[in-house]
DNA sequence: TTGTATGCGTTATCAC
DNA sequence: GTGATAACGCATACAA
């Protein structure tokens, strides 16, 4: 591996001079500078990031952490992060595992964006500091070095359900996501509130516990179909589960929306193709904004107020007009 | 940031003793060992990866490089890589940019899996070495330190087209991907060969140049519809473009497959929902296998023979039976 | 069984 | 304008 020493030797100068050139210091003659730059190119010298950050403690790399590979919109979040990061001369590394804790210190990365729920609050609180800010997605934390970027789940879910009720639907089933997650709680609460405002009763037996995966929506629909009477509409806490449910209905000759309407949440790629009524979350923007706040915080412009992103309701053919 | 020194001080021992404990050396008394482990937990000490790898030169982290966020099956590849890596006590970091060159040396990562076409052959040849093996996906390279893992595009494409011809389709259009990519070339070649074997002529005006993105398939279909007569079947070099084409046909009241059949390649999530006939690439397995070979090579079990993964043809409703 | 000294590749300080 | 040197956090050889 070619190091700064090799460059120095070939140029007939000291390592400090090479370092000065590479870091754009003023105190180098143009002649020396050019010679060194030329040699670096010839050797295709790449500064060793380990040595660099070990010494300087400063860092132009941020970390993104996620781990759920079933949710394809995560790529859009990454895209948003990547774009902002590149436009601001930072680098991005992504970790898919809890081991990323190893990289969460300011000699390797300058800050993190955390999406993975497996990364626990107290771990983040321990790691976050004045010179290691963190941005968390989809969870709200109160800490002077941690900023939350969350989607406003409540308002669009409430409005979507109100829209469904306005279209004549009167009885509902609900397929929930992981019960401990904040977004699932918020979506369910909005659903219940919308029903209550409209004086519609909701029975606990109409609640199905899922895990945001397609299979769990499929299973919920299977169970639902065992009951004597279907609700007018099955509300699912995300698209994956809604799609699973639609597949189950299809397999059993139950028509959507004639026999039962279905709604989701996320507006994933499949939602459009399947005509699923859902809430569209601006994922690219979510990543972009998270990266912006993180880098601003790294640069000392501290701001840890929770940021709420608004989402958009999309009515498609999975909800019709109930006569 | 808590370092090895802090642990040593609190334990009343030297840093080397702490280091010995952390690296499971034998020469430490049980008493000392336990005390140190306890203190590490209390301080939630995380070894600094920069210092560590700088010294040891050895590394249990691998790098994955990609950058096309439109292709959602990349998440499946990552999933496969991630699973193999975790099962073998390695870590994974992912880079989405050319800047990842910075991390491609054995003081930061032990090897790389490269998918991004922007990472050029000569760069890889320069970087790869005895102690920095590389695995490339979707391109074939001959280098003692670089292993290629590629999908066999030819056979399934040939067979799929033969199947389409067997179903009575006789005239064809083709939407190609980026012309320089090996997989696109191979898919096109298989397509042409299948036609030739069946004595079917192909006119250059029926070739549309795309870029693997949905929009380019959409545009190709738009242009195709301007011509007086549609071919029996439009073959697309990947699913994204096929889906774009199907949307264009749908918007213009042209029925698939009655008016025109469509085929893709990839079996992305949407393909099933849209009834697209396509070739299914086992992406999870692809990532898993790439990671396996990389780690085996890192461990000295050298093997750089090109590995070909086979794919599976899936006939769906976008191809019917032509009378 | 434990501690001391050295060096990995880099940057920062300071003397020249 | 340039170079010698210390320091970053850690692992290792070797001395104690």
In a domain, B233, yes or no: yes
d(C-alpha B134, C-alpha B142), whole Å? 12
In a domain, A31, yes or no: yes
* Tokens 């964006």 sit on residue: A113
Are A26 and A36 part of one and the same domain?
yes
**pLDDT at position B266:** 94
Place of tokens 């050797």: A43
Q: Given an 8 Å threshold on Cβ–Cβ distance, is B54 in contact with A53?
A: no
We report the CATH number of the domain holding residue B164 as 3.40.50.2300
> Do A92 and B96 lie within an 8 Å CB cutoff?
yes
**Distance between A230 CA and the closest CA of chain B, angstroms:** 24
For A54, the closest of B51, B103, B104 (CB atoms) is: B51
Q: Residue closest to C9, CA→C1'?
A: A51
Q: Is the CB of A15 under 7 A from strand D?
A: yes
Assess whether B250 and B276 both reside in one domain. Answer: yes
Measured between CB atoms, does B109 come within 8 Å of chain A?
no
The answer to whether B72 CB sits below 7 Å from nucleic acid chain D is no
Residue B53 lies in a domain: no
Strands lying side by side in the sheet with A207-209:
A207-209, A172-176, A233-236, A261-263
Does a structural domain hold residue A318? no
DSSP-derived 3-state class of residue B114? strand
Residue A228 CA to residue A244 CA, distance in Å, equals 21
Q: Which residues of A touch B97 (CB under 8 A)?
A: 82, 86, 91-92
Which residue do the tokens 């179903």 mark? B167
- Reading chain A (323 residues) residue by residue, the pLDDT tens digits are 789 999 999 999 999 999 999 999 988 999 999 999 999 999 999 888 888 888 877 778 999 999 988 778 899 999 999 999 999 989 999 999 867 888 888 778 899 999 998 999 999 999 998 889 999 999 999 999 999 999 999 999 999 999 999 999 999 999 999 998 889 999 999 999 999 999 999 999 999 999 999 999 999 999 999 988 899 999 999 999 999 999 999 999 999 999 999 999 999 888 988 999 999 999 999 999 999 999 999 988 999 999 999 999 999 999 999 87
User: Do B163 and B196 touch, CB atoms closer than 8 A?
Assistant: no
In whole angstroms, D7 C1' to B126 CA is: 32
| A47 interface with B at CB cutoff 8 Å | yes
- Indicate yes or no: pTM above 0.95: no
Q: Is B256 a member of any domain?
A: yes
A304 CA: distance to closest CA in chain B (Å): 21
Count of residues in chain B:
323
Residue B317 lies in a domain: no
Mark whether B175 and B267 lie in a shared domain.
yes
CB-CB under 8 Å, B50 with A50: yes
With CB atoms and an 8 Å threshold, state whether A49 touches B273: no
- Is there a single domain that holds both residue B163 and residue B116? no
Q: Which parts of chain A fold into alpha helices (H)?
A: 4-11, 15-22, 30-43, 49-56, 74-87, 121-127, 154-166, 182-197, 214-226, 239-251, 269-274, 283-298
Tell whether B190 and B270 lie within a shared domain: yes
CA distances for B266 relative to A126, B155, B220, B249, angstroms: 43, 14, 19, 21
What is the span of the domain harbouring residue A32?
4-47
Same domain, A167 and A145: no
- Number of compact structural domains in chain A: 3
Question: Within an 8 Å CB–CB cutoff, is residue B29 touching chain A?
Answer: no
Q: Which residues of A touch B105 (CB under 8 A)?
A: 1, 46, 48
């Amino acid at each position: 591996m070619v190091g700064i020493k090799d460059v120095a030797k070939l140029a007939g100068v000291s390592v400090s001079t090479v370092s000065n050139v590479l870091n754009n210091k003023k105190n180098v003659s143009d002649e020396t500078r050019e010679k060194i730059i030329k040699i670096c190119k010839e050797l295709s010298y790449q500064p060793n990031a380990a040595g660099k950050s070990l010494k300087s403690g400063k860092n132009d790399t941020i970390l993104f952490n996620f781990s759920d590979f079933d949710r394809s919109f995560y790529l859009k979040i990454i895209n948003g992060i990547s774009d902002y990061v590149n436009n601001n001369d930072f680098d991005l590394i992504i970790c898919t595992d809890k081991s990323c804790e190893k990289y969460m210190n300011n000699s390797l990365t300058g800050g993190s964006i955390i999406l993975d729920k497996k990364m626990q609050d107290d771990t983040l609180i321990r790691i976050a500091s004045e010179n290691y800010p963190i941005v968390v997605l989809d969870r709200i934390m109160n800490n002077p070095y941690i900023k939350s970027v969350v989607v406003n789940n409540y308002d669009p879910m409430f409005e979507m359900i109100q829209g469904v009720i306005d279209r004549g639907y009167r009885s509902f089933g609900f397929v929930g996501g992981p019960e401990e997650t904040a977004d699932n709680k918020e979506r369910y609460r909005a659903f219940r509130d919308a029903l209550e405002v409209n004086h519609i009763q909701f029975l606990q037996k109409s609640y199905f516990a899922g895990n945001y995966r397609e299979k769990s929506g499929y299973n919920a629909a299977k169970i639902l179909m065992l009951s004597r009477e279907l609700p007018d509409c099955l509300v699912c806490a995300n698209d994956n589960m809604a799609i699973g449910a639609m597949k189950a209905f299809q397999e059993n000759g139950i028509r959507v929306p004639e026999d039962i309407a279905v709604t989701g949440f996320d507006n994933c790629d499949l939602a459009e193709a399947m005509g699923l009524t859902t809430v569209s979350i601006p994922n690219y923007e979510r990543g972009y904004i998270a990266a912006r706040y993180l880098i601003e915080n790294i640069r000392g412009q501290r701001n840890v107020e929770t940021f709420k992103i608004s989402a958009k309701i999309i009515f498609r053919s999975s909800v019709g007009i109930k006569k």
